[in-house]
Amino acid sequence: MARKAEAKPAQSNVPELTKEQELSAYRDMLLIRRFEEKAGQMYGMGLIGGFCHLYIGQEAVVTGITMASKKGEDAQITGYRDHGHMLVMGLDPKGVMAELTGRQGGLSKGKGGSMHMFSNEHRFYGGNGIVGAQVSLGTGLAFAAKYRGDNTVSISYFGDGAANQGQVYESFNMAKLWNLPAVYIIENNRYAMGTSVDRATAQGDFSKRGLSFGIDGEQVDGMDVRLVHDAAKRAIEHARSGKGPYILEMQTYRYRGHSMSDPAKYRSKDEVASMRAERDPIEQVKNRILEKRYGTEEWLKEVEAEIRAIVTEAADFATSDAEPPAAELWTDIYAA
Amino acid sequence: MPTILMPALSPTMEEGKLSKWLVKEGDTVKPGDVLAEIETDKATMEVESVDSGKVVKILVPEGTEGVKVNEPIAQIQAEGETLEAAPVAKTVPEPSEAPVVAAEKAADAAPSVAAAPAAPKFEAAADPDLPAGVEMVEMTVRQALNEAMAEEMRRDKDVFLMGEEVAEYQGAYKISQGLLQEFGPQRVVDTPITEHGFAGIAVGAAFAGLRPIVEFMTWNFAMQAIDQIINSAAKQLYMSGGQVSAPIVFRGPNGAAARVGAQHSQDYSAWYSHVPGLHVVAPFSAADAKGLLKAAIRSNTPVVFLENEILYGSTGLVPKVDDFVLPIGKARIARAGKDVTIVSYSMGMRYATQATEKLVAAGIDVELIDLRTLRPMDTATVIESVKKTGRVVTVEEGWPQGGIGAELAAVVVAEAFDYLDAPPLRVTGKDVPMPYAANLEKLALPNVDEVIAAVNAVTYRG
């Protein structure tokens, strides 16, 4: 029953985005793509240490979901593949890149690294390094929303790998038991590091993972930002209206290895190439922008230049900024 | 003109083989296009372009071994760049070259890392002065803990209690008795038996600014949740550069109760006291239980609050004041003396107190210190005492290796070596899983005679 990653034909009758939404989605996704390419290059140059998990290929997921959420009000939390989430939520690309290089101007003062960045202001709660832990934490953010009655929802992202962790189901159980405003996004990119979904999971339809708790779910083409956005609207509305948690399985794909040091030997080059060529989330939006005359080639080039400038500025800052002062070793351990 | 550099596959890679070029000079490339394959003894990896433009020069032919990381391997002429402009660009440092310089600098700087700055000293406040003639009320540790939670829940609507059997059942050990009736089910939350899950949920709620009290039916079950306590709660403030804290209290009975066997009888004091980012409190008396639990609930640092089932029913005098809060991180001198220092905490204080009574009757002037807090540990009070007595015995129920006594002994030897008249001695639980049989369990735990024997040894009495 091996299920191969396949390049599905684009669906017809999909809910369309407005012109503004398409343009903004294009810009957000391109920022992630160019930022991550730069991060990959800088990792190769030894400027970024440790682990560096790139989001290239999965851009439509966080972009479509954030578009359907109340930015700055709804809480979001994810695992360690987190750069894209921060960029789309509006965190400063310079601060993100400087955190990757471990500099004092990094979002966590250089003390967190690629996997650990947060922002109370943007309601982004990481950036969590232990696979699956963010699901309980995100459910706690939903608990707080319900406790306060502030009408916000909590959106927790986790991968097909994390979906096999026990605490995910402990959290599902309590989220439904207490009808918490929790939206669970399973980013199924088909590989938990080097282990394909087929080799790791008895139930490969992740949208059904909440059924025994009475949590509904949907499988969504996570390469098409229109479908992501449409499903996210339903899921978020469900949670916000007091009906409790909802699961979206985003069928997506990462082009790069699990982390920068992963050569990705566990899948064929053809598989990656066909996904890139036929299902690329950014190319899809770009083609629609041109087809529908939402923007010209000229406009696309301008956006490309604008994004390139943002990324270059981030990279320059991240390489010229000072390392944190030694005194930072001892700060932020105990809260005042 | 953008230069393509030999990339590293990992931070430890220094060189590799350029096994294959997938583009040739004159080809046009865009970001994400695979340019080449490189190989180390561990793996093969693709080099992708981050630029758009034309490959004008391949500098390292395919098949070359031992290409150093960050060595230029190709040049790309970016879109819009003219050929004439290229040589000019070579003489001016380009933004894309800046990182190389920084990388080299970082590498050069690596071996000469400056010595770590000294750790800041933690200074706890003294216990508050009580008003003259204050009424002292006798109550159990159980009542004291219950009052502390009730008072803090009245004071702050963000404080809530969650755990197994805390609400309808009124608490497995009745610590939460009456709280459901007063505060309702929204703030006194029964959970399923799911420690890992509800600990994580509570930490998430704390990230959002609530102040959860998590009751573990016993700390033994919290091993299911220890990842959330340490990785999510304790490290959060540091990892976020001071942005997001987790104001949360994890509490419940710790250590041996009676005849419940190995899996229900472990003392976790040393485990949690090991972790920076946590405060660890382990009170003995009813007054300390109340004052320190109130402080823990108000703390913005996550607190591990270790209670003891056997002590729940013991009584003590608690001052009747409006707001009785004690400082976390301050030891209490339970009895001042000059011959020998005994240091203990929680249930260990019961053995230590009884031993002290007998020793004092025998003419040994014992100074007895109740640590109360295990992290930050008030070693200053211990050192000051040892400088006076020259002898120290530690008492705990936990295992000896890497224990609280081991830590105290190390600190005393390092900071008061010249004052010592005898080696520090530890009285601990035996280095075995807790047996069930009544006689064996008794043997596994410390007792009063062992404390007396240790004091006799350090004072060189028969």
The per-residue b/e assignment along B208-224, b for 16 or more CB within 10 angstroms, e otherwise, is bebbbbbbbbbbbbbbb
pLDDT, position B44 = 80
Both B181 and B250 in one domain: the answer is: yes
From the CA of A280, how many Å to the nearest CA of chain B? Answer: 12
A:76-95 residues touching chain B, CB 8 A cutoff: 77
Kind of pairing between the strands at B425-427 and B392-395:
parallel
Last residue of a domain, which of B89, B108, B127?
B108
Both B312 and B339 in one domain: the answer is: no
Task: Output the domain CATH number for residue B13.
Answer: 2.40.50.100
State mean pLDDT over B407-415. 98
Answer yes or no: are the C-beta atoms of B453 and B425 closer than 8 Å. no
Alpha carbons A156 and A210: distance in angstroms, whole number = 14
Comparing C-alpha atoms, which of A94, A180, A87 is closest to residue A127?
Answer: A87
The helix/strand/coil state of B128 is coil
Q: Which two tokens stand for residue A226?
A: 């229109």
- CB proximity A67 to B under 8 Å: no
pLDDT, position A264 = 83
State mean pLDDT over B9-20. 86
Both B194 and B265 in one domain: the answer is: yes
Report helix, strand and coil shares of chain A as percent, to nearest 5: 45, 10, 40
Q: Which two tokens stand for residue A70?
A: 């109340």
A:186-225 residues touching chain B, CB 8 A cutoff: none
B287 vs B82, higher pLDDT: B287
pLDDT, position A5 = 53
* Residue-range definition of the domain harbouring residue B78: 3-108
Phi and psi at A104, nearest 5°, equal -65, -25
Alpha carbons B221 and B172: distance in angstroms, whole number = 14
pLDDT, position B12 = 81
What is the share, in percent, of chain A residues with pLDDT greater than 90? 89
Task: Output the domain CATH number for residue B359.
Answer: 3.40.50.920
| pLDDT for B90 beyond 60 | no
Of B106, B160, B191, Cβ closest to residue A174 = B191
pLDDT, position A263 = 80
Class (C level, CATH) for A19-321:
alpha beta
Both B208 and B299 in one domain: the answer is: yes
- Between vectors from CA B350 to CA B345 and to CA B352, what angle results, nearest 5°? 75
B124 domain-assigned? no
Q: If you average pLDDT over every residue of chain B, what do you get?
A: 92
Q: Which two tokens stand for residue B310?
A: 């056997």
B126 domain-assigned? no
Q: Which two tokens stand for residue B59?
A: 């500098």
Alpha carbons B375 and B279: distance in angstroms, whole number = 5
pLDDT, position B10 = 79
Q: Do B244 and A326 touch (CB under 8 A)?
A: no
The full set of domain ranges for chain A reads 19-321
Q: Ramachandran region of residue A21, left (φ > 0), alpha (ψ -120 to 50) or beta? A: alpha
State mean pLDDT over B58-73. 93
Task: Output the domain CATH number for residue B147.
Answer: 3.40.50.970
Of A118, A130, A329, Cβ closest to residue B117 = A329
- CB proximity A126 to B under 8 Å: yes
B contact test, residue of A32, A45, A286 with most B CBs within 10 A:
A45
B336 domain-assigned? yes
| pLDDT for A20 beyond 50 | yes
The helix/strand/coil state of A316 is helix
B297-348 pLDDT, tens digit per residue, is: 999 999 999 999 999 999 999 999 999 999 999 999 999 999 999 999 999 9
Alpha carbons A107 and B141: distance in angstroms, whole number = 44
B274 is catalytic: no
From the CA of B246, how many Å to the nearest CA of chain A? Answer: 9
Is the previous residue joined to A214 through a cis bond, with omega within 30 degrees of 0? no
Alpha carbons B10 and A183: distance in angstroms, whole number = 35
- CB proximity A312 to B under 8 Å: yes
Alpha carbons B330 and B365: distance in angstroms, whole number = 23
Both B42 and B167 in one domain: the answer is: no
DSSP letters of B193-245?
S-HHHHHHHHHHHHHTT-EEEEEPSSGGGGGGGHHIIIIIIITHHHHTTTS--
A89-93, A202-206, B45-49, B386-390, range with the lowest pLDDT: B45-49
A50-84 pLDDT, tens digit per residue, is: 989 999 999 999 999 999 999 999 999 999 999 99
| pLDDT for A12 beyond 90 | no
Alpha carbons A33 and A45: distance in angstroms, whole number = 19
A260-311 pLDDT, tens digit per residue, is: 888 888 898 899 989 999 999 999 999 999 999 999 999 999 999 999 999 9
From the CA of B302, how many Å to the nearest CA of chain A? Answer: 8
Both B314 and B381 in one domain: the answer is: no
Q: How many domains does chain B have?
A: 3
Q: Taking each helix axis from N to C terminus, what angle separates A225-240 and A59-68, rounded to the nearest 10 degrees?
A: 40
The per-residue b/e assignment along A21-56, b for 16 or more CB within 10 angstroms, e otherwise, is bbbbbbebbbbbbbbbbbbbbbbbbbbbeebbbbbb
Q: Do A45 and B5 touch (CB under 8 A)?
A: yes
Both B78 and B165 in one domain: the answer is: no
Answer yes or no: are the C-beta atoms of A115 and A127 closer than 8 Å. yes
Residues in a beta bridge with A95: none
Q: Do B207 and A137 touch (CB under 8 A)?
A: yes
Classify the C-alpha dihedral A270-A273-A277-A280 as positive or negative: positive
Q: Do A147 and B196 touch (CB under 8 A)?
A: no
Both B262 and B365 in one domain: the answer is: no
Of B103, B120, B279, Cβ closest to residue A46 = B103
Q: Do B237 and A335 touch (CB under 8 A)?
A: yes
B116 domain-assigned? no
ipTM of the complex: 0.94
The helix/strand/coil state of A145 is helix
Q: If you average pLDDT over every residue of chain A, what do you get?
A: 94
Of B48, B117, B199, Cβ closest to residue A327 = B117
Phi and psi at A181, nearest 5°, equal -75, 70
Alpha carbons B191 and B403: distance in angstroms, whole number = 32
Strand locations in B360-439 (E): 366-370, 373-375, 392-395, 425-427
Long-range contacts of B117-126 (CB under 8 A, 24+ apart): B117/A326, B117/A327, B117/A329, B117/A330, B119/A330, B120/A330, B122/B329, B122/B376, B124/B327, B124/B328, B124/B329, B124/B330, B124/B373, B124/B376, B124/B378, B125/B327, B125/B330, B126/B327, B126/B330
A203 vs B449, higher pLDDT: B449
pLDDT, position B11 = 77
B249 domain-assigned? yes
Both B257 and B400 in one domain: the answer is: no
B257-278 pLDDT, tens digit per residue, is: 999 999 999 999 999 999 999 9
Comparing C-alpha atoms, which of B434, B269, B419, B415 is closest to residue B349?
Answer: B269
DSSP letters of A252-279?
---SS-SSTT---TTS-HHHHHHHHHHH
Q: Which two tokens stand for residue B248?
A: 């949360």
Q: Which residues of B touch A141 (CB under 8 A)?
A: 204-205, 207-208
pLDDT, position B48 = 87
Q: Which of B37, B264, B274, B357 is catalytic?
A: B264
Contacts of A3 (CB under 8 A, 6+ apart): A197, A198, A204
| pLDDT for B102 beyond 50 | no
Kind of pairing between the strands at A182-188 and B279-281:
unpaired
Both B424 and B400 in one domain: the answer is: yes
State mean pLDDT over B368-385. 98
- CB proximity A171 to B under 8 Å: yes
Last residue of a domain, which of B319, B347, B380?
B319
Both B242 and B338 in one domain: the answer is: no
> Which residue in the block uniquely carries the two structure tokens 């009785």?
B324
Taking CA–CA distances from B120, the nearest residue in chain A reads A330
Q: State how far the alpha carbon of B61 is from the alpha carbons of B8, B72, B392, in Å.
A: 18, 12, 72
> Which residue in the block uniquely carries the two structure tokens 């969650």?
B162
Instruction: Count contacts between A and B (CB, < 8 Å).
Output: 221
Both B311 and B408 in one domain: the answer is: no
pLDDT, position A2 = 44
Comparing C-alpha atoms, which of B210, B211, B205 is closest to residue B228?
Answer: B205
B264 is catalytic: yes
Q: Do B205 and A50 touch (CB under 8 A)?
A: no
Q: Do A75 and B208 touch (CB under 8 A)?
A: yes
From the CA of A267, how many Å to the nearest CA of chain B? Answer: 13
Quick one: pLDDT band at residue B79, thresholds 50, 70, 90?
confident
From the CA of B100, how many Å to the nearest CA of chain A? Answer: 7
The helix/strand/coil state of B375 is strand
| pLDDT for A248 beyond 60 | yes
Element (H, E) at B76: strand B72-78
B151-199 pLDDT, tens digit per residue, is: 999 999 999 999 999 999 999 999 999 999 999 999 999 999 999 999 9
Alpha carbons B341 and B388: distance in angstroms, whole number = 9
Specify the DSSP class assigned to residue A185.
E
Half-sphere exposure of B65 (CA within 13 A, CB side): 1
Comparing C-alpha atoms, which of B193, B138, B184 is closest to residue B164?
Answer: B193
| pLDDT for B83 beyond 80 | no
A:129-148 residues touching chain B, CB 8 A cutoff: 129-130, 133, 135-145, 147-148
Quick one: CA torsion of A305, A310, A315, A321, rounded to 10 degrees? 140
Residues in a beta bridge with B340: B366
Alpha carbons B362 and B365: distance in angstroms, whole number = 9
